[in-house]
């Protein structure tokens, strides 16, 4: 009964997808899904991309699915573990409801919190007594990094057996990258003395391309040491094959010109399987090397969420738990690595 119902709901989602949210199974396991919610424009979460985990019980739909946010969010009805206080996931659940309706209800909850039934009383109190402060904090917690990656939107059914850990950007991801480029351009007086570098993963190369286009910069340097975490913590479970090294980048499919990228032929690529500590040290040394190589340049480094957190902790020699989302921009002083500002695409 449960499997048949879940399959039907998945088919309905694929046939009539929503613009604000999407969901689909993790691999072949229909009882475990990932979901994505785009922050509603009329809320302080506008511009954010939030991920959720969905677990269906074996007696679904007679029992509700379990949903929790895996992206950090500032909300009175969602706690630090991602648990959601929503009546239809508890006493008001009905077998007539679907996971699509639940996701839409969560979208509504982002626009209209319920501070009278909070999971986080302190946030509920702020919402009631100081709405401007609440909106500001909610916006500060909404982060973007490189653009949205194809494998994060399961309804797109992205698969590439040759490069399973190197997903490209989605259409939304390309738009996020363009917007990030527009903002970065607005911060800089000119394009002189700017160096754009990126991780060799295709999503970072694509994001860097959009930023370089806005700045009218032709060359982008690939720095392998800025790569994502090459272990299970980065959802990588075997050695990585590099599209860049294999010359498997299609200008029409990937929407970039491979000829604009350069990489030192002696560059050392990180190898699977590394620890979180060794990955953090690798990224730290990459940032230090960049500032040494280009002491007089403004450096724009397009990398991954863990790299952003490492960069923010360079001054204090500790990790800064930003939980960066897609296309987050973090400004650092290259002289002492102090954080100037962080910004989210809204």
Question: Which positions are annotated as active-site residues?
Answer: 85
What are 324's two structure tokens? Answer: 């960066």
Which residue reads 């960049």 in tokens?
Answer: 290
Closest CA to 229 of 291, 177, 167, 165: 165
Cis peptide before 261 (omega within 30 of 0): no
Helix, coil or strand: residue 243: helix
Query: Residue 255: which region, alpha, beta or left (left: phi > 0; alpha: psi -120 to 50)?
Result: left
What are 113's two structure tokens? Answer: 């919190």
Distance, CA of 204 to CA of 197 (rounded, Å): 9
- Cα-only R_g, the chain: 21
Which residue reads 């319920």 in tokens?
Answer: 114
Helix, coil or strand: residue 183: helix
Closest CA to 140 of 305, 344, 278, 345: 344
Sign, CA torsion 283/286/287/288 = positive
Closest CA to 77 of 105, 99, 96, 36: 105
Helix, coil or strand: residue 248: coil
297 close to 188: Cβ distance less than 8 angstroms = no
């Amino acid at each position: 009964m449960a499997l048949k119902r879940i399959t039907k709901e998945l088919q309905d989602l694929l046939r009539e997808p929503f613009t604000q949210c999407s969901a689909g199974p993790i691999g072949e396991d229909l009882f475990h899904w990932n979901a994505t919610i785009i922050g509603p424009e009329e809320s302080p979460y506008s511009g954010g991309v939030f991920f959720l985990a969905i677990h269906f019980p074996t007696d679904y739909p007679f029992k509700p699915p379990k949903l929790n946010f895996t992206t950090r969010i500032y909300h009175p009805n969602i706690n630090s573990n991602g648990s959601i206080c929503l009546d239809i996931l508890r006493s008001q659940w009905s077998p007539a409801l679907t996971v699509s309706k639940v996701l839409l209800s969560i979208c509504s909850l982002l626009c209209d919190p319920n501070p009278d039934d909070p999971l986080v009383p302190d946030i509920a109190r702020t919402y009631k007594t100081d709405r401007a402060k609440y909106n500001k904090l909610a916006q500060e917690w909404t982060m973007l990094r490189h653009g949205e990656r194809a494998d994060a939107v399961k309804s797109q059914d992205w698969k590439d057996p040759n490069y399973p850990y190197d997903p490209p950007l989605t259409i939304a991801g390309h738009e996020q990258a363009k917007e990030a480029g527009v903002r970065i351009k607005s911060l800089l007086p000119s394009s002189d003395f700017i160096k754009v570098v990126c991780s060799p993963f295709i999503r970072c190369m694509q994001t860097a391309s959009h930023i370089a286009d806005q700045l009218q910069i032709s060359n982008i340097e690939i720095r392998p040491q800025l790569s994502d975490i090459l272990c299970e913590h980065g959802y990588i479970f075997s050695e990585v094959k590099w599209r860049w090294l294999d010359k498997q980048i299609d200008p029409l499919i990937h929407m970039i010109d491979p000829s604009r990228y350069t990489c030192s032929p002696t560059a050392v690529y990180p190898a699977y399987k590394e620890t979180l500590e060794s990955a953090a040290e690798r990224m730290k040394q990459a940032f230090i090397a960049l500032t040494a190589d280009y002491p007089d340049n403004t450096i724009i480094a397009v990398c991954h969420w863990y790299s952003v957190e490492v960069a923010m902790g360079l001054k204090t020699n500790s990790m800064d738990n930003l939980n960066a989302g897609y296309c987050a921009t973090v400004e650092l002083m290259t002289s002492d690595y102090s954080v100037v500002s962080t910004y989210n695409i809204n």
